[in-house]
Amino acid sequence: MNVVVVGNGVAGTLAAKALRDLDSEASITVFAAERHPYYPRPNLIEYLAGTMAREELFAFPPSWPADRRIDLRLGEPVRAIHPASGEVETAEGRRVRYDRLLLADGASASVPPIPGVGRRGVFTLRTLDDAEAVLNELSVRPRVAVIGGGLLGLEIARGLRGRGADVEVIEFFPYLLPRQLDPEGSALLRGRIEAAGVRVRVGTATEEIFGGDSVRGLRFKDGKELAADLAVIAAGVKPSTALARDAGLPVDRGVLVSDRMETGVPGIFAAGDGTQHNGRLYGIIPASFEQARVAAVNLLGGNASYRGTIPSNTLKVAGLALTSIGNVNPEGPGYEVLRRADPERGLYKKIVLQEGTLVGAIWLGTKSGVSEISKAIARRAAAGPGKESLLEDGFDFSKL
């Protein structure tokens, strides 16, 4: 069987690995737009901060594809899929036949239509090439504005501050991490971030990135300005759907797939950041892992099902561990919220119950109990009596 994988990010690489583990004979070819082997994207932040050497970025040694008999074509993107003939066409015009195809070309950085985004000194951070471009400029342009106070924006700010840059984060929403935190937890986090030397503006919309050929600063809708040498945009991602759409695959916000991770065209599967399952785009590493495994099984004729992934994000900002799981900002009737805050320790815990069942949690300032409460939320455990004790240090969630 000839299997072609489009994309060598987490979904494409893990699927190729799983395919070889399941089938020692299948022909596996992976086409990659990037010229670099697979690296976990969170490693880019450590590289940006100077805490990880370039050679440590990569998940596998250089010989890994050859050792696994995976034909990895770096810097050779696919420009078209031809389902009628069962072929992919590369950017160089070469056609390669497939029996089964996995579309895992992920997503690209989203760039809002802000005047001035084309100026020199404006960057996104999605690839290793992006990180290296930022570092090349940082040595002579030390004042950085990070547009976006979400997970990626705060991690970028941390990394650049670690390099000694003067950094300010600009967030449109009234508080940081609006998808992962609530106002109470965000206020505590913001205090720690600012104490680490990163300035923060919230409730601020960027109207223009001004300058001549190069960035000189940002102008906001309230008329204020910020002097800056670099602007890094962290405004989320945009699923890559052009290949699928041009090939006639069903597409909405992402590439539509069934529980088997199969698209509307038999023999073509999809996984990763560009995939939409049951109306959801996940854009998180755990979902890409799970989707890739299911797709690999079914590519080979198996019968596995993907049932969705409970959103869970973990990061460390200003020395504080943060984990956000499930529904942390509930709306509507039937919800109950439990909170515990200890600002002096940098500790904030929140549990969301829906009719007595655990559906979400925020753990800020500690990693203790993260794995346990994640599992409890995944199985929708009932809180039971004495629910206030759920917030105590060392509570045993396996008893629920």
| Reported confidence tier of residue 317, pLDDT bands at 50, 70, 90 | low
| 261 contact partners, CB below 8 Å, separation of at least 6 | 269, 270, 271, 275, 277, 291, 294, 295, 298, 306
**Is the model's pLDDT at 345 over the cut of 70?**
yes
Tens digits of per-residue pLDDT, 97-138? 999 999 999 999 999 999 999 999 999 999 999 999 999 999
Strand partners, 350: 339, 362
d(CA 19, CA 292): 10
Whole-number pLDDT of residue 318: 65
Q: What is the CATH number of domain 2-37+52-108+239-299?
A: 3.50.50.60
- DSSP H or E segment with residue 88: strand 87-90
Whole-number pLDDT of residue 88: 98
- Indicate the residue type of 14: L
Question: Which residue, among 9, 251, 4, 249, has the nearest Cα to 107 in the 3D structure?
Answer: 9
**Structural domain spans, the chain:** 2-37+52-108+239-299, 122-233, 319-399
Whole-number pLDDT of residue 346: 86
7 phi and psi angles, rounded to 5 deg:
115, 135
Domain 2-37+52-108+239-299 identical in fold to domain 122-233:
yes
Whole-number pLDDT of residue 151: 86
Helix axes 42-49, 151-162, angle to 10 degrees: 20
298 vs 152, residue with greater confidence: 298
CA 164 to chain centre: 25
**Is the model's pLDDT at 2 over the cut of 80?**
yes
Whole-number pLDDT of residue 388: 83
Domain 319-399 part of CATH 3.40.50.1820: no
Q: What is the DSSP letter of 152?
A: H
- With a pLDDT cut of 90, the percent of the chain lying above it is 84
Whole-number pLDDT of residue 132: 96
**Is the model's pLDDT at 291 over the cut of 80?**
yes
Pick the range with the lowest mean pLDDT from 17-21, 44-48, 253-257, 267-271. Answer: 44-48
- Predicted TM-score (pTM) of this structure: 0.90
- Per-residue pLDDT, averaged over 263-284, amounts to 96
Pick the range with the lowest mean pLDDT from 198-212, 242-256, 385-399. Answer: 385-399
**Is the model's pLDDT at 216 over the cut of 90?**
yes
Whole-number pLDDT of residue 384: 83
Q: State the burial class of residue 13 (Cβ atoms within 10 Å of its Cβ: 0-12, 13-18, 19+).
A: buried
| Core vs surface per residue 347-365: b (16+ CB within 10 A) or e | bbbbbbbbeebbbbbbbbb
Question: Which residue, among 392, 388, 327, 319, has the nearest Cα to 362 in the 3D structure?
Answer: 327
- With a pLDDT cut of 70, the percent of the chain lying above it is 99
Q: What is the DSSP letter of 289?
A: H
Whole-number pLDDT of residue 398: 82
Q: What is the DSSP letter of 390?
A: G
d(CA 292, CA 156): 27
**Is the model's pLDDT at 65 over the cut of 80?**
yes
Give 240-279 as a DSSP string. --HHHHHTT--BSSSEEE-TTSB-SSTTEEE-STTEEETT
**Is the model's pLDDT at 50 over the cut of 90?**
yes
Whole-number pLDDT of residue 311: 80
| Reported confidence tier of residue 321, pLDDT bands at 50, 70, 90 | confident
- Per-residue pLDDT, averaged over 153-177, amounts to 94
> Which CATH class name applies to 122-233?
alpha beta
